[in-house]
Amino acid sequence: MLKKKILILCGGISKERLISLDTGKQVAKELKKNHYKVLICEPDKDLFRKIKLFKPNIIFNALHGQFGEDGYIQTILETQKIPYTHSGVIASSIAMDKEISKKIFLKHKILTPKYIKLDQKKNKINIIKNIEKKLKFPVVIKPINEGSSVHVYICTKNNIIKNLRKLKIYDQILIEKFIPGREIQVAIMGRKKLGAIELKPKRKFYDYEAKYNSKAKTQHIIPTNLSKKNLKKILDIAYKAHKIIGCRGVTRSDFKYYNGKFYLLEINTQPGMTKLSLVPEIAAYTGITFIKLIEWILRDASINR
């Protein structure tokens, strides 16, 4: 594609700010190396002024978490009539809301862990009985609208109240049946089922530290040790989720594989592009370099506007 002016939107105020800045830095470095004109920009009060002055051809949305991949910034970007990368307003909003996306998965017969929603403003006195009745321990608790496994805890009957207190800043919590087994992530690139990678974290599960701290020493296994039949199955499920949510560009779906079944945990509409990120690693395994991946994302943004 012709070398264009790319504004990279990163940073923000979510819990994933540092990861977003790292993604923006890595993408900018690669684009500059390949002779693109690049401006890195925060989503602050000067955003519109900088867009007007720089006049980008495309906005690369490298934001993560709340306000960045939940439909909020997408709504703002729509007013600028400039192509932006990744999913649009509705798909971003749906994918970020773990309860709504789960309901859609279930409606379309995609297996996902059983769950209950907890409103933290209400009385939690019967929460343990409710969990024992509907889910059984252990369970996973997490905010409904966060990414990168921020504030995710595996809980037993003994520590759930203590861990819920750690999430007191959130009004709504998703309590999900804990699924043991293998951690497998799948990348979808438009209509292409890009591939899968298996993760073996040294920690209890693939949490924030396991994702972004190189010292956590999570083992990345590619190709995955799945049969051709099972690999096709998990790729098909991820592609189906990508389509029914209405995603565009690149997505990454997180799965647990247990007792011969694939459980879709969530779909990420703006996967990271850091040195430890999975989508670039999967792409590289299939022969797609980092710059070719970025250029495809930019081209996809232009085509789908």
- DSSP H/E element including 20: helix 17-33
Identify any residues that bridge with 284 across adjacent strands, giving them in sequence order.
Answer: none
252, 253, 263, 300: the catalytic one is: 252
Known catalytic residue: 299?
A: no
Query: In angstroms, rounded to a whole number, what is the distance separating the alpha carbons of residues 280 and 181?
Result: 24
Known catalytic residue: 212?
A: yes
What is each CA distance from 213 to 20, 192, 201, 210, 249, in whole angstroms? 14, 29, 11, 6, 26
14, 87, 268, 277: the catalytic one is: 268
DSSP labels, 236-276? HHHHHHHHHHT--SEEEEEEEEETTEEEEEEEESS---STT
16, 22, 42, 70: the catalytic one is: 16
- Which tokens in the block code for residue 107? 């409606």
Known catalytic residue: 30?
A: no
Known catalytic residue: 268?
A: yes
61, 254, 257, 277: the catalytic one is: 254
97, 266, 277, 300: the catalytic one is: 266
Query: In angstroms, rounded to a whole number, what is the distance separating the alpha carbons of residues 281 and 197?
Result: 9
- Residue 81: phi, psi to the nearest 5? 60, 35
148, 149, 253, 277: the catalytic one is: 148
36, 145, 272, 277: the catalytic one is: 272
Known catalytic residue: 146?
A: no
Known catalytic residue: 263?
A: no
Query: In angstroms, rounded to a whole number, what is the distance separating the alpha carbons of residues 301 and 270?
Result: 13
Which residue in 188, 289, 197, 161 sits closest to 243, CA to CA?
A: 188
Give me the active site residues, please: 16, 148, 212, 252, 254, 266, 268, 272
